[in-house]
Amino acid sequence: MFKKLTLGLSGLFAAQIALSAGVFYHEHVQASQQVAKTLFSFEPSQIDHIAISSHDNKVLLRKVHQHWVLPGLDQLPADSARVEQLLSQLTTARVNWPIADSKSAQQRFKVAPKDFKTHVSMHSAKHTLANFYIGDSPTFHQVSVRKKGQRAIYQLNLLTGPLMANSASWLDKMLLATPNQQISGNNFDIKKNQQIWQWQGKAHSKQRVLSQNKATLLSESLANLNIEHVAVTPLLGKPQFSLHVQSGQHHYRYQFWHKDNRYQVERSDYNVRFAINQGQYQQLAKVNELYLLDKVKQTASKSVNHSTQTVKPTPTRSSESELPAHHAK
């Protein structure tokens, strides 16, 4: 009897513990949801310039006609998608309790006024709408953040990657990528007509036909041209080759240079030389008439009793050999 009573009391005690734990968890979650708040209250569309600085560098991003540019880098296009992603994340991210709020913690997390990794300020035409320090990254895509003038330090998720204080990291690497309808270069001129690439003018060889695969590959190489950075030291001398490209109503001239392991490109609408990788350079450098034109597949025929019979051609032995003639018996 005593054993049964003990077991019953033990079960009741366990049930009370479980109930208490459940109530505590529910209240904790509810409290967290109530405390969670947005750290920044501006609208992304309000921001028209952003300053990002470290102790030894600084970059300014400015919105011009709904596009972000780099005033410190000849007004070259910035990666607008990345800037807009950053603004969206800052205005939608929610934080709960701060991880720390002491002055010693500011130095420990690298968000102190004189000991920080990155200082970011965001402005409208007349007002500063955000001003904060970014410090250490405890985990991937997570950073420590402290708003200027406040003591609280929060952890924030940023999927844009590190906010580097230099123009090169914000440069739009696809600024030379060009959808195209007509391309001309070394002894060739091709134009796209209803999804079919056509040779313009007369080819030197009548025994060849334009390869749609190679023409498409050339077109895609230009449409996906990806620069690495601005060429600090442009290569001297004449370019190795040039390409003329029509994109809608726009016409561009691309010029390419190569020396040792350096590959550079310049487009007619920018007064800046850019570095590209070896693979992209070589893919475009090999394009000429002989590359784009494939040999015509030839068939021989003979007439027997007023009927035409197709004869399989003898395989060629070299690029210059011709099919042997077939004579009617």
How much is the average pLDDT of 56-77? Answer: 95
Q: In this predicted model, which residue has the larger pLDDT, 265 or 158?
A: 265
Q: What average pLDDT does the structure give for the chain?
A: 83
pLDDT band for position 197 (cuts 50, 70, 90):
very high
Statement: residue 62 has pLDDT above 90: yes
Q: Quick one: pLDDT at residue 98? A: 92
Q: Are residues 154 and 138 in contact, defined by beta-carbon separation less than 8 angstroms? A: no
Domain spans in the chain, listed from the N-terminal domain onward: 37-170, 182-295
How much is the average pLDDT of 242-262? Answer: 97
Tell which residue, 164, 160, 171, 218, has the closest CA to residue 190: 218
d(CA 6, CA 45): 68
Q: In this predicted model, which residue has the larger pLDDT, 201 or 210?
A: 210
pLDDT band for position 140 (cuts 50, 70, 90):
confident
Q: Quick one: pLDDT at residue 214? A: 97
pLDDT digits (tens, 9 = 90+) for 79-101: 999 999 999 999 998 888 999 99
Tell which residue, 39, 37, 63, has the closest CA to residue 49: 63
Tell which residue, 59, 161, 55, has the closest CA to residue 110: 55
How far from 194 is each of 116, 198, 211, 245, CA to CA, in Å?
56, 10, 16, 18
Least confident residue range of 47-61, 156-170, 208-222: 156-170
Statement: residue 313 has pLDDT above 60: no
Q: Quick one: pLDDT at residue 69? A: 97
Q: Quick one: pLDDT at residue 159? A: 73
Least confident residue range of 39-43, 161-165, 296-300: 296-300
